[in-house]
């Protein structure tokens, strides 16, 4: 199966084309406020390298966050638009699951807690447990203040927001738990491989919308 996977949950975006488990083209880039459109030339470059047309892609995989809302929205819009002409399926995976897999592989543990900066002095977090070839969440998403952060049963902690919350994590993670003391970013190759494993186990796609954990802010209507 030819898969095109995309993740833009952080400033470091990535895309990959896989033939089942084998990566045949991959790109990574850093988006800035000046340049936020690096996804599209990267996709064109990958397709040229792989000598493929979009019509050959049999599955699109996209990270749905949490993370950069604008980046996630662009990635989801691109995947669904490319999939539309051929009615190609699109499969969503939380970017945090990809991070958890990468962290579990890096430090050889089973349970990983992923933490992100949710702004407003809050963190989003979720614990994942490795089961066979996928990462299964142990519980729902949590939105907590740093002072209320709890490890649960996690053996390791990782974040893509190390530059913003790394020092606070150092103060909150006990010595018995492995803290990956650098920014990890989800990569598209991992997303693609997890999609294959999840589909083989009959696991449904995540909803194809960016994960946004803050409650909606309702502004009063003025006459």
Average pLDDT over residues 171-198: 96
Exposure class string for 10-23: b at 16+ Cβ within 10 A, else e? bbbbbbbbbeeeeb
Encode pLDDT of 20-41 as tens digits. 999 999 999 997 654 457 899 9
Average pLDDT over residues 103-127: 96
How far apart (Å, rounded) are the C-alpha atoms in residues 38 and 30?
A: 8
The pLDDT, as a whole number, for residue 215 is 62
Kindly report whether the peptide bond that precedes residue 66 is cis, defined as omega within 30 degrees of 0.
yes
Tokens of 143: 């939105």
The pLDDT, as a whole number, for residue 120 is 84
The least confident of 27-36, 104-113, 177-186 is 27-36
Topology alike, domains 2-94+186-200 and 95-183: yes
Percent of residues, the chain, with pLDDT higher than 70: 94
Beta bridge partners of 19: 2, 22
Mean pLDDT of the chain: 93
Average pLDDT over residues 98-108: 98
The pLDDT, as a whole number, for residue 223 is 43
**Superfamily per CATH, domain 2-94+186-200:** ATPase, nucleotide binding domain (3.30.420.40)
Encode pLDDT of 1-17 as tens digits. 999 999 999 999 999 99
The pLDDT, as a whole number, for residue 221 is 46
What is the rounded end-to-end Cα distance, in angstroms, of the chain? 56
How far apart (Å, rounded) are the C-alpha atoms in residues 184 and 195?
A: 20
The pLDDT, as a whole number, for residue 117 is 96
Architecture of the domain made up of 95-183: 2-Layer Sandwich (3.30)
What ranges do the domains of the chain cover? 2-94+186-200, 95-183
Which among 103, 81, 94 has a CA at the least distance from the CA of 212?
A: 94
Alpha-carbon dihedral sign for residues 45, 49, 53, 59: negative
């Amino acid at each position: 199966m030819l898969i095109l996977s995309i993740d833009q949950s952080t400033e470091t975006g990535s895309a990959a084309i896989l033939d089942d488990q084998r990566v045949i083209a991959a790109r990574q880039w850093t988006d800035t406020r000046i340049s936020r459109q690096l996804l599209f030339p990267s996709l064109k470059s990958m397709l040229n390298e792989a000598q493929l047309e979009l019509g050959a892609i049999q599955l699109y995989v996209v990270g749905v966050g949490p993370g950069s809302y604008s980046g996630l929205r662009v990635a989801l819009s691109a995947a669904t638009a490319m999939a539309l002409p051929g009615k190609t399926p699109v499969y969503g995976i939380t970017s945090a699951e990809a991070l958890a897999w990468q962290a579990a592989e890096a430090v050889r543990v089973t349970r990983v807690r992923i933490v992100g900066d949710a702004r407003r002095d809050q963190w989003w977090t979720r614990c994942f447990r490795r089961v066979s070839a996928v990462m299964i969440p142990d519980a729902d998403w949590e939105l907590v203040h740093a002072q209320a952060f709890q490890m649960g049963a996690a053996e390791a902690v990782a974040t893509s927001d190390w530059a913003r919350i790394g020092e606070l994590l150092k103060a909150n993670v006990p010595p018995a738990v492995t803290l990956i003391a650098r920014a990890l970013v989800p990569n598209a190759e991992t997303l693609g491989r997890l999609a294959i494993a999840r589909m083989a186990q009959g696991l449904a796609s995540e909803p194809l919308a960016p994960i946004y954990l803050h409650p909606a802010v309702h502004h009063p209507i003025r006459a």
